[in-house]
Structure 1
Amino acid sequence: MAKKEKTFRPKPRKPRGFRDRSGAEILAEQAMLRRITAVYASYGFLPLETPAFEYTDALGKFLPDVDRPNNGVFSLQDDDEQWMSLRYDLTAPLARHVAEHYDALPKPFRRYQVGTVWRNEKPGPGRFREFTQCDADTVGAPAPHADAEAVMMLADAVAAAGVPLDDFLVRISSRKIMSGLLESIGLDTADGGTSGTVLRAMDKYDRLGAEGVRWLLGKGRKDESGDFTEGAHLSDGQADMVLAFMECSDGTNMGAIRGMREILGDNAIGAEGLAELETMAETLGLTGYGERAIIDPSVVRGLDYYTGPVFEAELTFEVTNDQGQVVQFGSVGSGGRYDDLVKRFKGVEVPAVGCSVGVSRLLSALEARGQMAADEAPVVILALEPDRMGAYQMMARQLRAAGIATEVYLGGSGMRAQMKYADKRGARVAVLQGEDERARGEITVKDLKLGEKLSTQIESNEEWRESQPAQVSVPENELVAAVQRALQS
């Protein structure tokens, strides 16, 4: 007898670094994106959509010494043997769009975009290969006035997302003053080795403090786990100058600029960067943003990418994580000037500046603080009499017409299972009409959340049955009003 061949059944699993998202998280993100993009629109920005795929050479990630591009992007070869890659950010596609339509676009060109991006990188805790970005960029406007506007818009977007004004700061620095500092201590800014090590050390100032950064500027540092990080091997004098630069602020924007100017002296690129920051500080002060948009020389961001002012929005409140540790979320948005990106296509410098809000990270911070968006689960109408589905759908239609999300239970189970279903859906309200209610011309409205709360306060089943808490029967024509009252309670 022939052996029966086993049917192949694939294992239900996700690729590493990807995740399923559903329900409340998606609704909260959509609500947050509506508020953020409303801010972008209020500044006169218009939406733009670009394809998920771009030609790999347009993204700047093609490696000519290998057969297949693999530097951080997901790629495939088209039938014409050209490599295409999933976009890894929204800025490179913007640069391609501007270059392709340069003569037809108004300059400056102002656009915002919300979209999924993909990174072919090693995943880790809270680090995914697929996530959402929410950007706004101005192309064709030189520094510093467009940069000041981008800072104001980022601050307004974070506030609109639900963060109180006292709970975040936008910290501002500049690629030019960083280059000026490196030149002033005798380093070649084109040398990514030592210069890069110095900048990475500076970027750890908030976490390690002056002492930890001094070790990284010198011979290196061993952390608590015993791992050793090689240092920049600067002299004591060079390290002193770097630390003095990072600590030069007196708590005001103009004070920080004066302090940096004293340290950088007559360095040309540094003076240019400081002049731009000074103009930005004046504008931010006049428009009322001076207290939450501060000049901070410790800000270090992707300096090979940026060409001028850089900034990041940082949450200042503390939260408790899943391990019970008190932590700060840190940066939830960032931006800066990048004048060289369109140049890759056009051969001429096209000034540009933009900002981006880290929506997933900001949602996580608000969730940890108990500030997630209101529950948008639907009202559930129980189907207690299967032959009356048309009547139940008419009830649902009335509620939907009043702007209330509503569904009729369609699972074919009994009342107990239907109530469990409503609980699993997170429904705030359930609507019932069985034979007895129908005979009286009534409908029962149950406030499930209030009932859950009261169940912890009532001590006996008898008291529960007698009081029938969080439940009311109303005439059929009062259904909408009764549900609205329950939702508002």
Structure 2
Amino acid sequence: MAKDKPTKLKARMPRGLADRGPAELGSTRAMLETIRKVYELYGFEALETPFIEYTDALGKFLPDQDRPNEGVFSFQDDDEQWLSLRYDLTAPLARHVAENFDRLAKPFRSYRAGWVFRNEKPGPGRFRQFMQFDADTVGAPTVAADAEICMMAADTLEALGVKRGDYVIKVNNRKVLDGVLGSIGQVASDDIARRLSVLRAIDKLDKFGIEGVRQLLGEGRRDESGDFTKGSGISEKRIDGILSFLSLSENCSKMSPEQQSRHPLFDLMADYFEADSVGAEGVAELREINTLVRAAGYGAERISVETSVVRGLEYYTGPVFEAELTFEVKDEKGRPVRFGSVGGGGRYDGLVGRFRSEPVPATGFSIGVSRLASALSYLKKADAAPDYGPVVIVVMDRDQTAHYMGLVATLRAAGIRAEMYLGNPKNLGNQFKYADRRNSPCVVIQGSDERAAGQVQIKDLIEGAKAAAAITDNAEWRESRPAQFACGEAELVAKVRELLDHHGVPHGAALG
């Protein structure tokens, strides 16, 4: 009787995660460096926190739950304490500041970049692991800190190549939204769960539109897959009041300049609240932020007060911000795509204070790195320089491996990316195919005749591809010469560098 063959493991990736190749990693690395420079220009300094925190320190989940893993990935340590992968970069910062409060200069200005994790249902563009890049000011109660964050967000997007007019930093205030909820009289101030349900519904305005938000504020909404999201249970009359307020800034933007001067947005907002209400305080803070950013030269096309901005996380206590891309592009199938929000943040005066006896004011901004990187890829010019790979040294004689390795070392010492072919060298054609797949700008060839003469052959793959594309028949191909030339071994670095410079391929400086 034949024995059953062992079953091979199936290579598969968990849903909501992604592998990332060299092109994406390279563009992300360059993007992170640009963001870092802007953040440091504003006086922020680097900080790194661990991926794992005590679950109760995340500020979102109750420590007495049997398994506090709704929204986060959690596990129990050997001392029976619950640990979780960080949900964002803000809660770990709050823990760090509280733990080191007395030795930190305040206001404490820091930036952090890293992976965060969400234990949520994955979907198109919705991942369980993604990267954020945050900047926060802790210990500054003035809204000038909020205004500065908004200005830095605008400067960051422009430094990354987003043109003015292709983005807007939208600003609102949680106090204003709390005032709206108080004014409708159907959401008690101590009914936290219901208030959060309403805020999360409003936060979906850009995604689902007015009708979708109306459903989420009411009985609920069923999506295209059939999944049903329970609504907040607000009456239709109260929903009309909320939606009317959310539309204020949009309606105001449609007014003529003369009408706007007679009915300023801030006056229209203030009309919703009593003079001593929380909402009125929020409107006053928005007025001040508006004054500060305009005085610094940031117009409404860059930073704008928008009544529809919410931000979904519940720890925000004051001004909230949303960085939105406004340009539209076409995807691979020619369909219009608008990226919308690529970052956001706000004031969270209660988060650090959970660890201390006194309140600690804080405000910050977070960029969604992966989403912004995807958007930036659409802004690249069609004739942008390709992302070339390393120079490849082909192996003609296996017993000369040490000599080929010396050629590679010579190029690397000169700051030129290079590698020796490490596969089976028997088939020379496969080596050239490998170089093509690596998008190499050129290959270096040396057989026994060249070695005896102290020479190498350099084949220009970029020029060769251009010539091949221009050839129309076999006769022309036979009469043409590939872009290949000989040079002395001593000239190798100079000739390769000359080739790279000719094609605009970047290369580094010499090592050491």
Fold shared per TM-score above 0.5: yes
Q: Is residue 203–residue 312 contact of structure 2 (8 Å, CA) maintained in 1?
A: no
User: How far 1:166 sits from its partner (Å)?
Assistant: 3.2
- C-alpha distance in 2 between matches for 1:20 and 1:10: 19
User: How far 1:20 sits from its partner (Å)?
Assistant: 2.2
- C-alpha distance in 2 between matches for 1:259 and 1:174: 15
User: How far 1:190 sits from its partner (Å)?
Assistant: 4.0
Question: Does 2:273 correspond to 1:292?
Answer: no
Partner in structure 2 of residue 448 of structure 1: 461
User: How far 1:175 sits from its partner (Å)?
Assistant: 0.7
Q: 1:282 aligns with which of 270, 273, 291?
A: 291
Deviations 1:454-481 (A, max 9, x none): 3222112342343324434334333333
Deviations 1:316-373 (A, max 9, x none): 1112224431010111111111111111111321111111111111111122444699
Question: Does 2:489 correspond to 1:479?
Answer: no
- C-alpha distance in 2 between matches for 1:224 and 1:59: 32
Q: Which moved more, 1:11-20 or 1:124-133?
A: 11-20
Structure 1 residues 303 and 25, CA gap change in structure 2 (3 angstroms): closer
- C-alpha distance in 2 between matches for 1:86 and 1:19: 17
Q: Is residue 323–residue 344 contact of structure 2 (8 Å, CA) maintained in 1?
A: yes
Structure 1 residues 186 and 394, CA gap change in structure 2 (3 angstroms): same
Paired amino acid for 1:144:
V
Deviations 1:163-192 (A, max 9, x none): 233321111111111112222333434435
Paired amino acid for 1:285:
R
Question: Does 2:248 correspond to 1:245?
Answer: yes
Q: 1:344 aligns with which of 346, 351, 354?
A: 354
Q: Is residue 451–residue 469 contact of structure 1 (8 Å, CA) maintained in 2?
A: yes
Superposed, 1:343-382 pairs within 5 Å as 343-370=353-380, 375=387, 377-382=389-394
Q: Secondary structure at the match of 1:73?
A: coil
Structure 1 residues 374 and 458, CA gap change in structure 2 (3 angstroms): closer
Partner in structure 2 of residue 271 of structure 1: 280
Superposed, 1:387-406 pairs within 5 Å as 387-406=399-418
Q: Is residue 180–residue 242 contact of structure 2 (8 Å, CA) maintained in 1?
A: no
User: How far 1:246 sits from its partner (Å)?
Assistant: 4.3
User: How far 1:433 sits from its partner (Å)?
Assistant: 2.4
Structure 1 residues 70 and 214, CA gap change in structure 2 (3 angstroms): closer
- C-alpha distance in 2 between matches for 1:37 and 1:376: 25
Structure 1 residues 485 and 4, CA gap change in structure 2 (3 angstroms): same
Q: Is residue 433–residue 443 contact of structure 1 (8 Å, CA) maintained in 2?
A: yes
Partner in structure 1 of residue 33 of structure 2: 34
Q: Secondary structure at the match of 1:249?
A: helix
CA RMSD in angstroms, aligned pairs only: 3.1
Structure 1 residues 33 and 279, CA gap change in structure 2 (3 angstroms): same
TM-score normalized by structure 2?
0.85
Paired amino acid for 2:191:
D
Q: Which moved more, 1:368-377 or 1:48-57?
A: 368-377
- C-alpha distance in 2 between matches for 1:7 and 1:426: 39
- C-alpha distance in 2 between matches for 1:298 and 1:13: 41
User: How far 1:99 sits from its partner (Å)?
Assistant: 0.9
Q: Secondary structure at the match of 1:459?
A: coil
- C-alpha distance in 2 between matches for 1:62 and 1:198: 19
Q: Secondary structure at the match of 2:179?
A: helix
Q: Which moved more, 1:177-186 or 1:409-418?
A: 177-186
- C-alpha distance in 2 between matches for 1:187 and 1:178: 14
Q: Is residue 249–residue 305 contact of structure 2 (8 Å, CA) maintained in 1?
A: no
Q: Secondary structure at the match of 2:84?
A: strand
Partner in structure 1 of residue 267 of structure 2: 258
Where do 5+ consecutive residues of structure 2 fail to align? Answer: 504-512
- C-alpha distance in 2 between matches for 1:88 and 1:74: 9
TM-score normalized by structure 1?
0.89
Q: Is residue 395–residue 404 contact of structure 2 (8 Å, CA) maintained in 1?
A: yes
Q: Secondary structure at the match of 2:419?
A: strand
Q: Is residue 174–residue 316 contact of structure 2 (8 Å, CA) maintained in 1?
A: yes
Question: Does 2:174 correspond to 1:161?
Answer: no
Paired amino acid for 1:39:
V
- C-alpha distance in 2 between matches for 1:57 and 1:220: 30
- C-alpha distance in 2 between matches for 1:458 and 1:361: 41
Q: Is residue 429–residue 447 contact of structure 1 (8 Å, CA) maintained in 2?
A: yes
Paired amino acid for 2:377:
E
- C-alpha distance in 1 between matches for 2:150 and 2:367: 12
Q: Secondary structure at the match of 2:103?
A: coil
User: How far 1:209 sits from its partner (Å)?
Assistant: 5.4
Paired amino acid for 1:385:
D
Structure 1 residues 373 and 79, CA gap change in structure 2 (3 angstroms): farther
Q: Is residue 61–residue 69 contact of structure 1 (8 Å, CA) maintained in 2?
A: no
Structure 1 residues 112 and 374, CA gap change in structure 2 (3 angstroms): farther
Partner in structure 2 of residue 461 of structure 1: 474
User: How far 1:76 sits from its partner (Å)?
Assistant: 2.0
User: How far 1:297 sits from its partner (Å)?
Assistant: 1.2
- C-alpha distance in 2 between matches for 1:479 and 1:90: 48
Q: Is residue 210–residue 243 contact of structure 1 (8 Å, CA) maintained in 2?
A: no
Paired amino acid for 2:15:
R
Give the fraction of aligned pairs with identical amino acids, expressed as a percent: 54
Q: Which moved more, 1:228-237 or 1:123-132?
A: 228-237
- C-alpha distance in 1 between matches for 2:97 and 2:225: 48
Structure 1 residues 223 and 91, CA gap change in structure 2 (3 angstroms): closer
Paired amino acid for 1:279:
E
Structure 1 residues 96 and 199, CA gap change in structure 2 (3 angstroms): closer
Q: Secondary structure at the match of 2:101?
A: coil
User: How far 1:392 sits from its partner (Å)?
Assistant: 2.5
Deviations 1:378-412 (A, max 9, x none): 22121222233333233323322332211111213
Structure 1 residues 83 and 260, CA gap change in structure 2 (3 angstroms): same
Q: Secondary structure at the match of 2:490?
A: helix
Paired amino acid for 2:408:
A
Partner in structure 2 of residue 118 of structure 1: 117
Structure 1 residues 258 and 443, CA gap change in structure 2 (3 angstroms): farther
Q: Which moved more, 1:90-99 or 1:320-329?
A: 320-329
Partner in structure 1 of residue 12 of structure 2: 13
Q: Secondary structure at the match of 1:410?
A: coil
- C-alpha distance in 2 between matches for 1:119 and 1:438: 58
- C-alpha distance in 2 between matches for 1:224 and 1:199: 22
User: How far 1:222 sits from its partner (Å)?
Assistant: 7.9
- C-alpha distance in 1 between matches for 2:295 and 2:120: 43
Deviations 1:116-153 (A, max 9, x none): 22222222222221222211111111130111111122
